[in-house]
Structure 1
């Protein structure tokens, strides 16, 4: 028996979900809508069906925070398989090439070559996203063009690999017995990075091809998968633990505690004046009411506020 939806707080909330393999991000959003009893649910960055781990959702008015969460750095744990390439750059796709066993054996005997290639893929790099992706090419999704038999090459774009920590390679075998090398890695990267493409490019740099066999997102900015609601709980109808907009905003941005009058004024759209020694200029500041609610995200410039993102206020106004 499933649980009845729990009434959503007036400001909604942010929900951290530990996505299971085989589910699309859209599937998780749909399940969350039923569990939370609202249609207004969105996410701050998708995960492929093969991937597991942290998916950040917003419900109700808290969806207004998602635009500020999308650009956060991400951390993944992954297994990269060297020796074979696939059309999707992960184990879900058909194999398109396999390395000569002698070349793979030589690589296994020279782990320093792998370490050097990993270093070359660390820091600011130019990356072409995987062809089987949701990026649109002339109005059509790239994965639809690939499935239609088209050759798709997406433009390279700048991303930053803040950390690429790889373990020692270990021998592996494909299902048909073909030799391979597996490398477990932890990758911290900027938004927009395709970890599948990173595996592809590592294999290409080493001359043996590569793809992902496992991918798990463990962190999005300051949020960790260890604090997430297991997907099975949502499937059973549980609402999970919602983070308040105020707690999320103050984890991401500097905060200013408003007086009761400032709360009313900001909620009615008025600009506030701050002591610049107490409230330094910043592009985003969390404006918090005396009762701890988030009134809005504001820009502070030369001691004056400007509303960037508004939230429902206790007296019914909107910042």
Structure 2
């Protein structure tokens, strides 16, 4: 890939993900910047951005798993399920125990049904749910199946009638962590909400490799923070191709798998494949079946001769 790249930005609390994209666009002097998964303004942490040619990889970087840390508060529920909302229910959490919390956590681990928060961007009859909520309209929110791979809650800290605990979650994309905190309270019979949230992982991208937004914007060489897309796409099969094959693929021609250099991984129909040229991503292809033969069909071409 010759132009652009992937950025791992540590978003601070406050700006929207779109705000961050706009700042990065101005800094890099390009309109072609997009993100692989939004973060709400009250949340901080890892935001994966793609610039220029790399924006064509966004659909492959929207990872199936994401990791978060944060804090949950027991004893108070809010209309937004986080600390930005109005308190709508309260009850004493002074008698809450770690044992009860761990039992509730177990019930919310694995594949679960999650009701989408009222204050969310989900469309209800053509309108955003948060717009309807702000008007005071009551709507039936949809539920979705999500996978909570890991859910850990730390020791309870009681402060009068409320209790706090830190947590860490690894989950499928589309999971609302504030809804998970809300549901944890419901499991315990105590109102609860998410007090803070920090995203620490998106697929293979980790917060430890990210640059703060402040440092990125202050840099005289912002391109130094680009990371190779190859390092974040290793969950896909990688194969190398000769210049002659890349020439054919870049022209839209299909290549039979049997023509590839050996060894190659076992590939299945509809499988997405990353094709490299001397270790650099040259194109994205998909395996198809053509008259009984498995072939590579080019989908996204980055390779240029010379």
Task: State the TM-score, normalizing by the size of structure 1.
Answer: 0.87
Counterpart pick for 1:147 among 131, 134, 158 = 134
Structure 2 unaligned regions, length at least 5: none
Q: Distance in 2 between matches of 1:278 and 1:94?
A: 60
Counterpart pick for 1:310 among 278, 295, 300 = 300
Match of 1:14 in 2: 6
CA contact (8 A) 1:166 1:183 kept: yes
| Root mean square deviation of aligned Cα | 1.8
Q: Distance in 2 between matches of 1:83 and 1:18?
A: 31
Displacement of 1:237: 5.3
Secondary structure of 2:103 counterpart: helix
Structure 1 unaligned regions, length at least 5: 1-8, 174-178
CA contact (8 A) 1:281 1:299 kept: no
Using the TM superposition, name which of 199-208 and 215-224 deviates more: 199-208
Q: Does 1:231 align with 2:219?
A: no
Deviation sequence 1:98-130 (CA, Å, 0-9, x none): 11x3xx2332xx322111111000000000111
* Runs of 4+ displaced beyond 4 Å: none
Displacement of 1:31: 0.5
Q: Distance in 2 between matches of 1:71 and 1:137?
A: 26
Q: Distance in 2 between matches of 1:165 and 1:198?
A: 12
Counterpart pick for 2:35 among 8, 31, 43 = 43
Aligned residues: 295
Counterpart pick for 2:143 among 143, 150, 156 = 156
Q: Distance in 2 between matches of 1:271 and 1:245?
A: 24
CA contact (8 A) 1:73 1:188 kept: yes
Q: Distance in 1 between matches of 2:81 and 2:257?
A: 52
Task: State the TM-score, normalizing by the size of structure 2.
Answer: 0.91
Q: Distance in 2 between matches of 1:253 and 1:225?
A: 21
Match of 1:95 in 2: 87
Match of 1:284 in 2: 272
Displacement of 1:293: 3.0
Q: Does 1:184 align with 2:176?
A: no
